[in-house]
Structure formats: structure tokens, C-alpha cells
Amino acid sequence: MNAHVRAADPKQRIKGATGDWEIVIGLEIHAQVTSRAKLFSGSSTAFGAEPNSHVSLVDAAMPGMLPVINEECVKQAVRTGLGLNARINNRSVFDRKNYFYPDLPQGYQISQYKSPIVGEGEIMVDVTPTQSITVGIERLHLEQDAGKSLHDQHPTMSFVDLNRSGVALMEIVSRPDLRSADEAKAYVTKLRTILRYLGTCDGDMEKGNLRADVNVSVRKPGEPFGTRCEIKNVNSIRFIGQAVDVEARRQIGILEDGGTIDQETRLYDPAKGETRSMRSKEEAHDYRYFPDPDLLPLEFDDAFVETLKIGLPELPDAKKARLASQYGLSPYDAAVLVAEHEQANFFEAVAKGRDGKTAANWVINELFGRLNKESKDVTASPMSADQLGGIVDLIGEGVISGSIAKQLFEIIWTEGGDPRAVVAARGMKQVTDTGAIEKVIDAVIAANPDKVEQAKAKPTMAGWFVGQVMKASGGKANPAAVNEILARKLGLG
């Protein structure tokens, strides 16, 4: 189906007083380019420096200063375009977008308007592990970030910090292909994953390195698109979802009361759970765009693009498909692993030469579960892939049972060490010696003659004996051997 005319899943519709409504969403993502220097100057982009310590004469817009394009930022934009399956434009143009803001010393932002560096593309978005949609990308262009006004430093004055002035941003504009808050959140999540794989933006929303303008409109199913409002600068994925729902409800309320939607720019207030009008929507002609006379059109040849293409890493979709087939994983497990490339790398280091499903189970359920509890990501894991692999080996060899493995996991997590050595030193080996197991079973049977009678009448009672035997052996008895010998002794086999 053509993504542009995609209808919402009936489940995603909103019930109103006058019938069902459908939400239409398009996102403009501002992603800070990973680069040591700014887009048109050599100043550092390092975060958190003393105010105004990373400001060149170009960034401060001193008269007569000339911008010089940073080739690394161009490469990052092209890499990103390739990662979004998009058309790369070998010729693009930088324009001046004119407006006044105290933290914009040039009085204009250098951006790209009619001729962006990257054209149409598309990405696949998993809304659930088994349901995916294709979202169209309209364009990606390069532009400068502005500085920052500081209003909390002085009782009567505002200050300006120009450290961020001139830092390169990629604006990535989606088609209005999204139909629910969940789809919008999944889209941003996927886009951020791709950017991180590419190494072109760190996706750190807390630092403002990735922020979204959320365009929302509503319509009755089957009708043309309605008038949209643009919610500016939403800085977390959760807030993007909330802003969509709150704004859609507001618009439905107005329309059902017989009103009309004014196209405007709004702000989302998470504390109040509402969007507020900021200004009426500006039109492109308000900015008096014109090609920046200080910059030649940006041109490169196919070989430049080809070289960057060859250098691209394996991207999430390809990695997901490969992990699923190479290691026999479910789509769900593969999706969890590829969400961050560091997670997939960790998994592959554990799975190498071992059973893939067991490795995935231990990485996802035990390791990620544990990391999550301590709010750590996999790069800060106290347990190495070698150590977890060692535990998986001991399970595979039948040296330890699953329940002992969990105890061993705990020990290695908190104390470190080599799993095999720890098992030997602490006597955690699984007992497969049937003679020893038989002795324990005989003792349990002798102590519980009444239960033996019950078990003979009701074979499911055998489970109680298994529990007792496992307990008496400190969890070390081989469960298969216990089951087998018990069945024989109780005459259930």
C-alpha cells in the first residue's frame, strides 16, 4: 500500500461524539551531527563547557567573517541519508533563513531550503515485534543550531551563551505517514537507533541532541488531511506520545463543537498535560530565504558517496534478520538485541560457538534484566561476555543446573571471577552420580511413607518429591536423573 494514503488501523481510531477520528502525524527531527567541530567553523562542539568558551569569530557573526564548510559534517549527512535509504543530492544549496532572535547573532540561520543534501527515503518501523510500517522521509538538510538565552543567571538581565551557535544539525522531515502516538514513538525510536548505529548523532535527548517538532492533525476516516498544528521542540519520546494524544483530543473537541483549527505553532507542557499556542504558523516566505552568497553550492561526485557507502556499518534491519537466521532467534529476541548495537555485539560475543537460543535467553532475561534494575547500559556491565559465555558453557555441558546457574550468575555479577573456577571452588557442580542421587531419594522416601502412598494414587504428587530431593541436594542434583529414579522408586514409571 502507498504509505502516503495509509489509513489508521481501526483500533487506533479515537471515538468522538460525532463518530470516529483518525490522527495524522508528521515529524521534523533535529539531530545534532556527531562532529568535533561546528558546521562552518573550527570551534569545539563539546557539551557542558564554560559559557562562550567555544565561540569563534564566525560563530559570533563578527563583520566580514566567512563560513567554511566542515567536510566531516557533510559526510555525516550523506551517511545518514544512505542509512535512511534516501536519494543523495550531489548538488545542494545553503540558504539564509532570516529571523531575529537574541541568541542568533547573524540575524539569520544558514540552512537548506529548496535544494537539501538528501532527498526522499524511507525507513521500516516496528510498532510491535510482529507489526511494522514503512514511513516516508521527505528530506534531510543541514543547518546551524542557534545559541542559548540564559534567563536564570541574574534577576533583571538575560545572558546569551553562544557555545552551541553554529553547531551542525540535520533536520530530518518525515511524510505525514504516522497514525498514532505509538507509531510516532516507534518511529523516533527507530530513527534514533539508526543514527546511533551510523555514529552520526548520539541521540541524547536529555542534552537536546535530538528533538522533535510534532505535526498533528485529525480527520474522519477516508477524508482528506485536516489542518495541522506543529508542537515545537519536544525533547523525550514519552512526551512525543503524550503531545500527540493531547493535541489530537484538543482538535477533535474544537471540530466537534463546530469550530475550525488554526494552523499554528504550539508548545507541549508536560506538567499540565496540555499544548499551548506559541504563535501563528509562519510561512516560508516570512523568512525571506535566499542562497547564502558566502557559500558556493555544495557539490561532490558519486565516488565520494560510494566511499561512504562502503564504510557503513551493518544497520539494524539487516542485523535483526541476520541474528534471527544465524542464531535461530525469535523476531522478538532479535529486535530486543538490535535496539542498541552494543547489545547486539555483546550477544554475539556470548553466542559465538555456543547455542544461540540459550545465549539469547541469558543475555536478554538475566543480564539485561539485571542491568535494567541497576539502570546501567550494557557498556557498563560488570559481567563480561566471556564470563556470561562461561556460565552458558557450564549449563550446556551439564556441569550446573539452571537454578545453580542463577546462583552462579549472582556470584559472578557481584564478586567477578571465572565461572568454572568458582563452580569448582564452591562445590556447585551438578550431581549426576546416580548412586548419590539414589541415596538422597531413599532418605526422602523413608521419611515420608504417607506421601509415598498419596503419590501412588496421584502421580502428580511426584513433583513434591522432586522438590524435596532438589532441596536436600542444595539444588545440585541433575533434575532429569532425579525424575527418572523417583518414578522408578515410586513405581510410577
| Contact residues: ligand ADP, CB under 6 A | 24-28, 173-176, 215-217, 225-226, 228, 230
C-beta closer to ligand ADP: residue 26 or 83: 26
Least distance between ligand ADP and beta carbon 195 (Å): 17
Q: Which does 182 bind (CB under 5 to 8 A by kind): ligand ADP, Mg ion, none?
A: none
For residue 10, give the DSSP letter. G
Q: Which does 176 bind (CB under 5 to 8 A by kind): Mg ion, ligand ADP, none?
A: ligand ADP
d(CA 33, CA 199): 9
Least distance between ligand ADP and beta carbon 199 (Å): 25
Show Cβ contacts of residue 445 under 8 Å, excluding neighbours closer than 6 positions.
452, 465, 489, 490
For residue 37, give the DSSP letter. B
Closest Cα to residue 336, out of 298, 363, 358? 363
CA distances from 5 to 29, 217, 351, 413, 450 (A): 22, 15, 43, 51, 71
How many helices and strands (H and E) does the chain possess? 16, 16
How many other C-beta atoms can be found within 10 angstroms of the C-beta atom of residue 472?
16
Closest Cα to residue 448, out of 405, 414, 489, 484? 489
Q: Which does 27 bind (CB under 5 to 8 A by kind): Mg ion, ligand ADP, none?
A: ligand ADP
Q: Which does 185 bind (CB under 5 to 8 A by kind): ligand ADP, Mg ion, none?
A: none
For residue 209, give the DSSP letter. S
C-beta closer to Mg ion: residue 212 or 422: 212
Least distance between ligand ADP and beta carbon 22 (Å): 11
How many other C-beta atoms can be found within 10 angstroms of the C-beta atom of residue 426?
12
The amino acid that residue 106 corresponds to is Q
C-beta closer to ligand ADP: residue 139 or 319: 139
C-beta closer to ligand ADP: residue 136 or 475: 136
Q: Which does 81 bind (CB under 5 to 8 A by kind): Mg ion, ligand ADP, none?
A: none
Say if residues 96 and 292 touch (Cβ distance below 8 Å).
yes
Least distance between Mg ion and beta carbon 343 (Å): 34
C-beta closer to ligand ADP: residue 23 or 55: 23
Least distance between ligand ADP and beta carbon 310 (Å): 31
Least distance between ligand ADP and beta carbon 226 (Å): 6
15 class by beta-carbon count within 10 Å (0-12 exposed, 13-18 middle, 19+ buried):
exposed
d(CA 368, CA 173): 33
Q: Which does 101 bind (CB under 5 to 8 A by kind): Mg ion, ligand ADP, none?
A: none
d(CA 127, CA 283): 33
C-beta closer to ligand ADP: residue 26 or 475: 26
C-beta closer to ligand ADP: residue 242 or 478: 242
Contact residues toward Mg ion (CB under 5 A) are 28
Least distance between ligand ADP and beta carbon 480 (Å): 58
Least distance between Mg ion and beta carbon 358 (Å): 49
C-beta closer to ligand ADP: residue 145 or 348: 145
Residue number of the CB atom closest to ligand ADP: 26
SS3 227: coil
The amino acid that residue 354 corresponds to is R
d(CA 226, CA 229): 10
Q: Where are the alpha helices (DSSP H) in 91-236?
A: 181-198
Least distance between ligand ADP and beta carbon 333 (Å): 33
C-beta closer to ligand ADP: residue 216 or 388: 216
Q: Which does 341 bind (CB under 5 to 8 A by kind): ligand ADP, Mg ion, none?
A: none
User: How does DSSP assign 319-339, residue by residue?
Assistant: HHHHHHHHHT--HHHHHHHHT
Least distance between ligand ADP and beta carbon 255 (Å): 13
The packing angle between helices 341-351 and 331-338, to 10°, is 120
Q: Is the dihedral of CA 288, 290, 295, 301 positive or negative?
A: positive
SS3 153: coil
Q: Which does 225 bind (CB under 5 to 8 A by kind): Mg ion, ligand ADP, none?
A: ligand ADP
Residue number of the CB atom closest to Mg ion: 28
Least distance between ligand ADP and beta carbon 124 (Å): 18
C-beta closer to ligand ADP: residue 148 or 232: 232
C-beta closer to Mg ion: residue 28 or 122: 28
Q: Which does 24 bind (CB under 5 to 8 A by kind): Mg ion, ligand ADP, none?
A: ligand ADP
194: Cα separation from own chain's centroid: 9
C-beta closer to ligand ADP: residue 99 or 332: 99
Q: Which does 215 bind (CB under 5 to 8 A by kind): Mg ion, ligand ADP, none?
A: ligand ADP
325: Cα separation from own chain's centroid: 22
User: How does DSSP assign 416-459, residue by residue?
Assistant: ---HHHHHHHTT---B--HHHHHHHHHHHHHH-HHHHHHHHH-G
The amino acid that residue 391 corresponds to is I
The packing angle between helices 402-415 and 385-396, to 10°, is 160
Least distance between ligand ADP and beta carbon 273 (Å): 21
